[in-house]
Structure 1
């Protein structure tokens, strides 16, 4: 069952007039929305509180969507399963409305798409029918849900092997809890492994896991992008080796990878990183070519989501947040993820 963060948990206000109830038997559609023309910069419960304030300001009872999904893959209750929504005229009874909390040209995260797809599957299960997949513009003249989400809906809402955010307090690889899913990377002989890593070497690991009998979490693939399914399968393999705790978190280390593949992949000779310009080149008030170079490389590596323009030579909070995301994604850097690049961050970023 899909885990949903309740109104009480995220701190919803009392309904300003309780919406009408709608039996699940009347639901025939599933509508996907976005937040509008500007990127969403809020995180966590603040997303729901901002939507609530806007919708109450419009004279509505409260949040108009049935559910909201954030970029981390968390699902929040709005109107829920059984209350009439306020998201698409003439479709608020027949349609379940779900906002993916992005705006403008923001890329929806794999976790958000997976959570939305899981919510759709849950809706079909609850209603006992296959609901029509629709974007807001299919029911009303609007740009919503934006070009990227609308293309995703029209493609059938694929979610690959990405799984929704872990259940809080639930069981995860290594005996951890929902907040500890291993979504970071390791580098072995110049090749990157772990959540989000890409390449033929990732496919080979997945194929080796499946061949060894550790492929039960794949719903398709294995493929060239490391997903939560790879992490869970690799954790099962680590567990079979007797590893426990963080040693069985689903991210390859040299010893376990060698046992899986019989031999480590040949060392990749990387182009030397440009010389580290020094910590004093980065931070508030700084402006120089090194900041532009840093930002461009972050974008190339897939860590540019906080930029709304640029990157450019003037240090911004977007630079800091993107660097921090990169640091958090790498095991060797996660313990000192302050958003300011040091020599180690620089070397890994340009490797």
Structure 2
């Protein structure tokens, strides 16, 4: 496969070849996010390039002192894959996996939108690495390596439900599509199992996982899942008294519940440090 269709190279950015050590990461791709909201989905693509240049300046400056930007790539909200250290380079992104896995950051914060174009950018990147660089194509989250909130609960649910490992094309998982559930069919026996699992994982991330006991995340939508969704919606101020279907409003409130819970964890000291913290 050719490299992703919307690609910004280091030379496009005015950067030379990365001075980072050579490596041959073949074990997979690790998804990251930012520690604060950037609102890049609502800004021009030029803002993504500015963000990326500023990130490199921070990583190579006195606060970090790294030889280059920490990540392999950025998948921006407008669907571009933007070079960081690039192929066959060691990263400073995830301790324990800097030489074995590539890294891609979404540059999203706790409540930023993860766009369909961004999801497809990760999919194209993953497929390109598998085809041209003998990478296993496995997608993980930063929290699979260390205790951290990165890449955020929403992105991590997409890691877990396989959203990023699907072939590039129409989104059948992720924010823009109700995770594969068509509006109104969420309580039907035939609702997609992976979509139901993703909603259940978000219920857990929002802090209401006990409602799913004893079966947990099982891909079956029954009274327990409805109760978990109801509690999550009420947590962010909804006055709804029962769940009749999985609507766009339901999903939006579930996402807000996850973001609120994540912010509470950060305030209480259970959150994560700024991403890219192992100092390679």
Partner of 1:46: 50
Shift of residue 13, structure 1, vs aligned partner: 7.0
Q: 1:134 to 1:8 in 2, by over 3 A?
A: same
2:9 paired with 1:6: yes
Q: Rg bigger for which structure? A: 1
CA contact (8 A) 2:8 2:81 kept: yes
Give the Cα–Cα distance (whole angstroms) in 1 for the partners of residues 127 and 103 of structure 2: 14
Q: How does 1:1-351 map to 2 (within 5 A)?
A: 1=2, 2-3=4-5, 4-12=7-15, 18-23=19-24, 26-41=25-40, 43-57=47-61, 58-158=64-164, 161-162=169-170
Separation in 2, partners of 1:101, 1:147: 14
What is the CA-CA distance between 1:146 and the residue it aligns to? 0.2
Cα distance in 2 between the residues matched to 1:60 and 1:40: 26
CA distance 1:118–1:50, shift in 2 (3 Å): same
Question: Aligned partners of 1:55 and 1:161: how far apart in 2?
Answer: 33
Deviation of the 1:40 alpha carbon: 4.1
Q: What displacement does 1:127 show? A: 3.2
Give, in angstroms, the shift of residue 97 of structure 1: 0.3
Contact residue 28 and residue 135 of structure 2 kept, 8 A: no
Flag structure 2 segments of 5+ consecutive residues without an equivalent.
179-247, 250-280
Q: CA deviation at 1:109?
A: 0.1
Counterpart secondary structure, 1:101: coil
CA distance in structure 2 between the partners assigned to 1:197 and 1:100 by the alignment: 18
* Distance (Å, rounded) in 2 between the aligned partners of 1:47 and 1:14: 20
Q: Distance in 1 between matches of 2:80 and 2:70?
A: 18
Write out per-residue CA displacement over residues 55-110 of structure 1, whole angstroms, 9 at most, x where no aligned residue: 11211112111110110001111111111111011210001000012112112000
Let me know the Cα RMSD of the aligned residues.
3.1
Change (3 A) 1:37 1:44: closer
Q: How many residues align?
A: 168
Q: Which residue does the alignment assign to 2:261?
A: none
* 2:154 alignment partner, SS class: helix
- Contact 1:52/1:63 (<8 A) preserved: yes
- Unaligned residue ranges in structure 1 (runs of 5+): 164-195, 199-298, 301-351
Q: Does the C-alpha gap of structure 1 residues 130 and 14 become closer, same or farther in structure 2, counting only changes over 3 Å?
A: closer
2:26–2:134 CA contact under 8 A, matched in 1: no
Tell me: higher relative CO, structure 1 or 2? Use CA pairs within 8 A at least 6 residues apart.
2
How far residue 154 of structure 1 moved from its aligned partner, in angstroms, is: 0.4
